[in-house]
Amino acid sequence: MEEIFENLPQHTCNWTKGRLIMYKYQGIWNLKGLHEGSILAQQNFKAQPTDVLLCSYPKTGTTWLKALSFAITTRAKYDGSTSPLLTTFPHECIPFLERDLDQIENNHKNSCFPLVGTHIPYTCLPKSVSASNCKIVYIYRDAKDVLVSYYNFVRGIYKVPEEDAPFKEAFDEFCEGVSSYGSYWDHILGYWRARQERPGRVLFLKYEDMKRDATRDMKRLAEFIGYPFSVAEESAGVIKNIIKLCSFENLSKLEVNKSGSYNPEDATKIETRTYFRKGKVGDWENYFTHEMKQKIDSLMDEKLSDTGLIT
Ligand code: A3P
């Protein structure tokens, strides 16, 4: 594997004091460890038709999507007072394709658990994904909030204070497509094309819509992944209870999410609290100048105007 990285384009992110180094492989910028995980997944993952892939670009609401999907699929077994989500970091409830191939294999053998999470762009997913025609859920979010979330997340991991990390540098890199699994627009486009090619097998969810009214998307999500809510469940408040259990307010105050740690790739240990920052729409206003807003909005518009995803 090592020789793959010898001749790849490489970029050191100065705003992280040189701690974050990205490599471009298969058209994607990423950390070495996450590239390695993606390569292993490409070589070994055998998707089953019954799998449901929870796909996202980092910082678009992955943790929330994982918590909601886990709560939906396990609700016959647990309720709000017994759910493993009360004591387990949501990312540990769902295997991560770039890291947990053995666990996924075991789940396949024991047949029961359909959910697998990944950030891998659609074009780089293992071939078995399209061959098996398994379902895909894709969450996306306003690029401006994604960047602000990513900037703070990376600073949190590498312990770089805000005054030492010029936001403008992170902004310029993001607009060049240099961020983990970047570019963001290519990531969205890949999954959007998959939805065109495989109608009914790819569900898009938008972070902002879910923040506004999670009930509608919860019903869509549950139906799509094969665990629809019955009328009786809806009347009994099951949907509301899951939304409450998985809310930012609830999850972020749990001990496991305040003081635990998580290893998305072998070399990195990340404090779980780094995944719960503000959970709001529009925090970008505290970071962007007017020119930055204009630039990123027109960039996203130029790249994605045909998709109807940007409104
Ligand atoms: P902010 O940094 O804007 O607060 P990901 O899960 O893809 O890594 O994305 C992290 C972002 O989702 C962070 O955004 C985080 O605060 C927010 N988030 C985490 N859990 C959430 C939840 N249960 N509901 C809504 N947003 C959540």
pLDDT at 266: 65
Question: 30 has which bridge partners?
Answer: 23
The alpha carbon of 280 and the centre of ligand 1 are apart by a number of angstroms equal to: 8
Three-state DSSP class for residue 229: coil
| Ligand 1: nearest atom to the Cα of 278 | 4
Structure tokens at 162: 């805000």
Atom of ligand 1 nearest to the CA of 60: 7
Q: How far apart are CA 172 and CA 292, in angstroms?
A: 9
Count of beta carbons in the 10 Å neighbourhood of residue 244:
13
Q: Print the SS3 string covering 181-192.
A: CECHHHHHHHHH
* Global ipTM: 1.00
- Cα–ligand 1 centroid distance for 43 (angstroms): 31
**Both tokens of residue 291?**
């020119």
Check residue 281 and report its DSSP letter: S
Give the three-class secondary structure for 56: strand
Please return the burial class of 302, using the count of CB atoms within 10 Å of its CB with bins 0-12, 13-18 and 19+.
exposed
Residues 124 and 255: their CA atoms lie apart, in Å, by 36
Residue nearest to ligand 1 atom 3, measured at CA: 149
| Strand, helix or coil for residue 285 | helix
pLDDT, position 110: 80
Mean pLDDT by 10 residues, the chain (311 residues): 90 96 97 95 96 98 98 94 97 95 87 91 97 97 98 96 98 98 97 95 98 97 98 97 98 97 80 97 98 97 91 70
CATH class for the domain made up of 1-305: alpha beta
Decide if 236 contacts 121 (C-beta within 8 A): no
Burial zone of 182 (CB within 10 Å; 0-12 exposed, 13-18 middle, 19+ buried): buried
Token match 């094969």: residue? 226
pTM of the full structure: 0.97
Beta-strand pair 135-140/52-56 = parallel
Contact yes or no for 70/115 (Cβ under 8 A): yes
How far away, in angstroms, is 190 Cα from ligand 1 center?
22
- Residues marked as catalytic: 119
In the reported structure, the alpha carbon of residue 213 is separated from the centroid of ligand 1 by a whole-number distance in angstroms of: 16
CB 178 within 8 A of CB 89: no
Q: Is 202 in the pocket of ligand 1 (CB under 6 A)?
A: no
- pLDDT of 2 reads 82
Residue ranges covered by each domain of the chain: 1-305
Ligand 1 within 6 A of CB of 60: yes
Distance (Å, whole) CA 218 – CA 229: 9
Ligand 1 and 90: CB distance under 6 A = no
